[in-house]
Structure 1
Amino acid sequence: MALPVFYARPELVGSTLNVAPAPASWDTAGEPGQVRSAAFTADVLAAIAPTVTVAPDPLALRLDVGLSDTVPLLLLNDLDNYLFPLVPKLTKGTLRQFASVWATKQHATTSSVAVCQTQPAPDPGGVYSLRVRTTASASTAAYKRQIHDQISVAPPLPDGGIALQLAFVVGPRRAWPNLWKATIDSLGPILGRDHAAREWDTRDGRITNLGLHCTTDPFAGNHVTIAIRARTTDMHTAR
């Protein structure tokens, strides 16, 4: 089976967005959450259009989310909720696949997005450098349980912000964005859980820097391999 690959993060200056980033919404069509999500997607599509049509593969996307100073940085506003369903919609709208997807959040007055060609990068390492393998469907609790059980000996990272990278190896028929949320929900041993929280309710709001990478293996079948790299950052504003 192919090995996980980490890709370099785009470091170019991104295009400033005119619409505030909107997290995934489970509203029905026409309701406010869906309206905000559609406007956000359209704004990102317009911003990346000049580049995404000409940039060679492999492609990387970077979204930098600016939050008001009054918004707690390490609570809620989970980065994976901004990326999904945005990235599948970008793929559908541009007919381009992304090998690497990044998101950050910080207190800032603006948000931005950038697209460029990327290249494989050295393994970022981290306090945790783990590899897990799954066989279950990502829509089931069994998928989360398989990941959780393979990292269960890991104590949570100390309080503060977290930089997390996940490098997936998937089969060619797998829609890898569908794996993001279920995988992160499984990382309670690393991210921590609040007292009395539900089993898969992790402290993923602590993730301030997220990198997601994909390698396709024609022989992977339904198996998924995930390389996990996690470390703390210097952000400690929890409230």
Structure 2
Amino acid sequence: MLTPVFYARPDAVPMPLAGVPALASWDKAGSPGQVQSTAFTSHVTSLVAGPLAGLAGPVALSLHVATDNTTSHDLDNYLFPLVPRITASTGRQFASVWGSKGREPASSITVGPARPVDDPGGVYAFSVRTTASAESVAYKQQIRDQVAAARPLPGGGVALQLAFVVGSRRAWPNLWKSTIDALGPVLGRDSGAAEWNARDGRIVDLGLHCVVDPAAGNDVAIAIRANTAEPG
């Protein structure tokens, strides 16, 4: 299996967003949540389509969410279904996707070439491997068991990077939420919370990276790097 690769955050000029980014919604079609999510993904797709068309090779995306509430609103729920929608509309597969949140005046989106960088390291640096379906409890259990030696990072915010190696049949955005849900030993859980209800609202900076290895089959390798961080 190939080695996980980390990529730099794209450094092009950010494009400001109109309105407030919307979280993913699993409500029925036509519900307020679905309407807001669809409007948000459509707006961002229209902004990035032109710049993406001018880029060759692997591409990266970075979403910044301007908010005073930096302890909830999980970053992966902003990025999904945004990234699959952009891919479906433009045909571009992303090698790297970033999300951040903080108290800046405006939310923004940035796209650019995906440039490999050195392993960022971290307070925690785990390499895990899974064999189960991401929709199964077994997938989360396999990850949790391989990071069980961790103790929750102290303080408030967390910077997390996940570098995946997947087979050619995997839709890697479908792995994000299940992987983060399994990181309770790193992120912590609120008192009385269910097993897979990690404190992922703590994540104020999230980097997600992917390389495709046809030889991987159904296996997934994940390099996990986590540090304490403060919102911007």
Query: What TM-score bracket applies, with the shorter chain setting the length?
Result: over 0.9
The match for 2:196 is 200
The match for 2:109 is 113
Q: Deviations over 1:43-67 (max 9, x none)?
A: 1012112201111121000000011
Q: What TM-score, normalized by structure 1, do the two folds share?
A: 0.95
1:6 has 2:6 as partner: yes
Structure 2 unaligned regions, length at least 5: none
* Range 38-47 or range 174-183, more displaced: 38-47
- How far, CA to CA, are the matches of 2:190 and 2:156 in structure 1? 14
- How far, CA to CA, are the matches of 1:109 and 1:32 in structure 2? 25
- How far, CA to CA, are the matches of 2:91 and 2:136 in structure 1? 29
The match for 1:170 is 166
1:88 has 2:117 as partner: no
- How far, CA to CA, are the matches of 2:177 and 2:26 in structure 1? 14
- How far, CA to CA, are the matches of 1:26 and 1:2 in structure 2? 34
The match for 2:21 is 21
After the TM superposition, list the runs of 4 or more consecutive aligned residues in structure 1 that deviate by more than 4 angstroms. none
The match for 2:54 is 54
CA contact (8 A) 1:19 1:43 kept: no
Q: Deviations over 1:63-91 (max 9, x none)?
A: 00011x3x3x12x2100000011111110
Residue 64 of structure 1 aligns to a residue in which SS?
A: strand
Q: 1:224–1:54: structure 2 CA closer, same or farther, 3 Å change rule?
A: same
Distance apart, 1:19 and its partner CA: 2.9
- How far, CA to CA, are the matches of 1:174 and 1:235 in structure 2? 32
The match for 1:224 is 220
- How far, CA to CA, are the matches of 1:172 and 1:108 in structure 2? 38
Identify which of 122, 125, 138 aligns with 2:121.
125
Q: Deviations over 1:107-150 (max 9, x none)?
A: 13311001111211010000011100000000010000000001
- How far, CA to CA, are the matches of 1:142 and 1:194 in structure 2? 22
CA contact (8 A) 2:166 2:218 kept: yes
The match for 1:159 is 155
Residue 51 of structure 1 aligns to a residue in which SS?
A: helix
Task: Letter of the 2:32 partner, please give it.
Answer: P
CA contact (8 A) 2:6 2:116 kept: yes
Distance apart, 1:42 and its partner CA: 1.1
Q: What TM-score, normalized by structure 2, do the two folds share?
A: 0.98
- How far, CA to CA, are the matches of 2:193 and 2:164 in structure 1? 27
Task: Letter of the 1:181 partner, please give it.
Answer: K
Distance apart, 1:11 and its partner CA: 2.3
Residue 141 of structure 2 aligns to a residue in which SS?
A: helix
Q: Matched residue pairs, number?
A: 232
Distance apart, 1:171 and its partner CA: 0.2
- How far, CA to CA, are the matches of 2:17 and 2:47 in structure 1? 7
The match for 1:102 is 98
CA contact (8 A) 1:160 1:235 kept: no
Q: CA RMSD in A?
A: 1.1
